[in-house]
Every structure is written in C-alpha cells, then in structure tokens.
Amino acid sequence: MTIRVLVVDDSVVIRRLVVQALESDPEVEVVATAANGKLALAKVDQYAPDAVTMDIEMPELDGVEAVRELRKRGHRMPIIMFSTLTERGATATLDALSAGASDYVAKPSNVGSISESLAAVADQLIPKIRALVPPQRRSPGTAPARSVAPVRAATMARPVAQLRQDIRRHPIRAVVLGCSTGGPEALSRVIERFTAPLPVPMLVVQHMPAVFTRQLAGRLDRLGPSQVYEAQDGQPLVPGGIYIAPGDTHLQVEGKPGRLRARITHTPPVNFCRPSVDVLFRSALDVVGPDLLAVILTGMGADGKAGAGAIAEAGGTVVVQDEQSSVVWGMPGSTATAGFAHRILPVLEIGHAVTGLVKASSTINEVTR
C-alpha cells in the first residue's frame, strides 16, 4: 500500500525537487501539488492524501495558516513543514508546530548539484513520512484515521507498588527528558502543567538544529513558572531550571549531586543523533547515579532506550508517553516494549506525574542530602 502525498510549495523548482525525491521511494506516490495554502485546502478535500509537505512562506495563504485551517477542519493527516535554517524559518516552523504540524525538514542549502539536493531531501523526508504514516494508517482514497488501538500500559509497565518501592529507595535529584518528532508540542504540554518550579534541575534533549533550540527554549520559558535555558557549557544546573541541549551538540552532566554543571560537547553522533538522548541519560547516570527520573516523549527511532534501560536497571524511574498521544511512538515505544518503563502515560498527565514523583522523593532528598 502506497503513501499518498500532497506537495505544497510556491516554487516550481522546489515542488519538482520534492516530487522527484519522494517518488524515488516506490512506496510513495505524489497525488497532487499546490502552489499555495489556499489551493492546498481544496486539494486535501479532493485527494485525501495520507501526508502533506508544506512550504511556510507562500502567497494568498501561508503554510502556518494553512496548517491551522486544515486542523480546524478536522484533517488529521501528518503535515511536514519545509523550513529554512534561519531565525525567521525557526520562528515560523515553531509556529506551524504549535498550529498542528507534525514535523519539519530543512530546505537544501549550499548543496552542489541537483542530485545532491535530491538526496538531501529524500534522506530527510522519506524516513519521516514512513514513520508518520505506518502501514496501518495508509488508506488510499479516504481521509486517514488512526486505527491502532492504544497499548495498554499494564502489559508493559512495572506494577505501581514496585514503582513506589523504587521511589522510597532512591530520591530524585534530577529529571532527564528526551524527545524528537512531535516533541516541541509535547514538551509544551508537560512544562505548562508545572504549578511551581521543580526542586531539582531538568535536562532536555530535543532533536533540533541550534537556531531552533534557542527559540524553543525562549518559547518554553514563557509557559510556566520554571526558567528554561538553552544550556551553555559550564552552566550550573540549579533546582527549578530547565536546560535544553543546543542543536548539533551533546548535553552531558558533570560535577556531583548538588553541584551539577552542563557539559556541551561536539563528539560524534549517537544513534545518528546529536544531541543524543542516550548521551544525556548515560552521563547523568554516571554523575548522579540512580537518583534520576527519566522521561521519554514522542519521537522517531530508539534514541534514549539504552540510556533509559541503564537508569531503570540502576534503580532510577522511567516514564514514557503513551502511543495514542504520541505523534510517533518510536522512542517511547521502544523503551516501553523493552520493559524499561515504570509508567506509560498520556502526554497531558506527564507534567503532573513528574511533579508528583519528584515531590514524593523530597523527604528522602532531605534525609540523604
């Protein structure tokens, strides 16, 4: 079964490039193209694509407003934005993600030839489309609907009684969190539910370019009582602070509990990712030990699974987002199916769960400090 895609871009050259890149995969069919958001609305109704690629800056109706209107009309298919790696492009892309876009890819820049541009677009776009439209959601000729039954947490998570025993044995001195596809909005839903700053630092890896992570930190900082930073090398990690890994760098932890600092490195990618969730999780475990709460939100791939497993085996606590509320249940799903998750929760419950778990450990923190 093929994945039927609508390509939306006001540039004839870019439309042709994206069409060629997509159709290099025999399982992808471009059913239509559109030169602006207004035409895209009509063609979504006409062709009912399984996915849409959407330019941001277009005449008549731009990409952000087109996404907003499609979601308002009830269309649920994945929408992938085609973005430039600039401050302006980052702002518009984050606006589109807030409006309901599923993910984004970068437009090719400084690429030498047409064939290299095609390869760059295909390498970014095709894996995302395949992940966002798995076989069970490919339904040619009709609007796609989510047909996968949510995985029952009870079949994978440890019993609540065991989780409570773990919390009594191990105080929580830091929260570490990883996410990717769908992560910016999931992070927003988590952070906006904090009613007070956490009494411990929270470190976050979101797979994003550098200019995007800086803007993401600024947006998250406005959502709740916590101060959110794009982490800097050597920065003290203080209670109540939330530290986002800068794009294209790894975020690690150094120092000792009570005197933690951020370490920013440019070592090779792990799991094809930089920043990598596994790098953060393993670094935090080396410094803090098992006194960690690890959280994995929506995202492609399995980055974070090994680190979460190490934290769970050491005696820390692991919470993952459930399938039904995830844009892509890759990272949380791989961790859950491996048996590392203590709890599998909808995204709207995770902020309260983090607050509750950290608060429950506060008396242990005082005794063992």
What size, in residues, is the chain? Answer: 369
Q: Is 55 a catalytic residue?
A: no
H/E element, 216: helix 210-221
Q: Is 45 a catalytic residue?
A: no
| Cis preceding-peptide flag for 269 (omega within 30 of 0) | no
- Measured CA to CA, the distance from residue 70 to residue 77 in angstroms comes to 9
The 3-state secondary structure of 25-88, one letter per residue: CCCEEEEEEECCHHHHHHHHHHHCCCEEEEECCCCCCCHHHHHHHHHHCCCCCCEEEEECCCHH
Strand 250-256 to 259-265 pairing: antiparallel
Give me the catalytic one of 103, 278, 291, 303: 303
DSSP-derived secondary structure letter, 267: P
- Measured CA to CA, the distance from residue 211 to residue 56 in angstroms comes to 17
Nearest by Cα to 281 from 130, 146, 177, 127? 177
Residue 343 burial class via C-beta count within 10 angstroms: exposed 0-12, middle 13-18, buried 19 and up: buried
Q: Is 303 a catalytic residue?
A: yes
Give me the catalytic one of 83, 180, 325, 334: 180
Give me the catalytic one of 75, 207, 250, 342: 207
277-288 vs 305-314: helix axis angle to the nearest 10?
20
Catalytic residues: 180, 207, 303
